[in-house]
C-alpha cells in the first residue's frame, strides 16, 4: 500500500511545525542584577531596581515589597544571579515569597532562592550593607518597566 506523496508532505510539515513549537516553548535561563533597599521596624518595606539579561537583550525591572515580623534597621543589597525556567522575559515579573532570617552590621553576604507563580526561579547572591536584623516573612514583587 502506497501513501500518496501529498499526504506524506503534510505529515512531514506537521512534524516540523510541532517540533518548532516545542522548541519555542521550552524554558530558558537568563541573568539578573537587583539593587534592593530595605528598611523597617516590625513592618518593613523594600524597593529598588534591576536588570534582566535574557537572550541577549536587557530589560529594566522595578522591585518592591513588604516584610512582617522581627525587623529592625535598614540595608542595601546588590544581588546577582540566575533566573531559570522562563520562556519569555515577562515571565520574571510576579510576586516572590520567602521566609528568612539574617543579620547585617556593616557589610554582609546574602544568598536567596525564590520562585514566582509563573515558575520562574531566582538564585541570587551578593552583598548587603547597613544595619539590619530580621526574622520575617517577605513578599517581593518584580515588574517590567
Q: Give tens-digit pLDDT for 99-132.
A: 555 555 566 667 788 889 999 999 888 888 887 6
Cα–Cα nearest to 107, from 132, 81, 71, 124: 132
Please state, for a pLDDT cut of 70, what percent of the chain lies above it. Answer: 67
Residue with cell 513578599: 139
| Confidence check: pLDDT of 19 > 50 | no
Residue 21 lies in a domain: no
Residue 46 lies in a domain: yes
Residue 20 lies in a domain: no
Residue 17 lies in a domain: no
- The pTM assigned to this predicted structure is 0.72
Q: What is the distance between the alpha carbons of residues 139 and 47, in angstroms, rounded to a whole number? A: 11
Burial (CB count within 10 angstroms: exposed 0-12, middle 13-18, buried 19+), residue 130 = middle
CATH of residue 59: 2.40.128
Residue 16 lies in a domain: no
Amino acid at each position: 500500500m502506497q501513501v500518496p506523496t501529498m499526504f506524506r508532505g503534510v505529515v512531514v510539515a506537521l512534524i516540523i511545525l510541532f517540533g518548532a513549537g516545542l522548541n519555542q516553548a521550552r524554558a530558558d535561563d537568563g541573568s539578573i542584577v537587583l539593587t534592593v533597599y530595605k528598611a523597617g521596624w516590625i513592618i518593613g518595606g523594600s524597593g529598588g531596581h534591576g536588570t534582566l539579561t535574557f537572550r541577549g537583550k536587557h530589560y529594566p525591572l522595578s522591585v518592591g515589597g513588604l516584610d512582617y515580623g522581627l525587623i529592625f534597621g535598614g540595608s542595601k543589597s546588590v544581588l546577582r544571579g540566575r533566573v531559570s525556567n522562563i520562556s519569555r522575559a515577562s515571565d520574571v515579573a510576579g510576586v516572590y515569597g520567602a521566609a528568612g532570617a539574617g543579620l547585617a552590621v556593616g557589610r554582609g553576604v546574602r544568598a536567596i532562592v525564590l520562585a514566582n507563580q509563573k515558575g520562574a526561579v531566582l538564585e541570587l547572591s551578593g552583598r548587603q550593607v547597613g544595619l539590619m536584623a530580621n526574622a520575617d516573612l517577605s513578599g517581593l514583587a518584580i515588574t517590567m518597566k
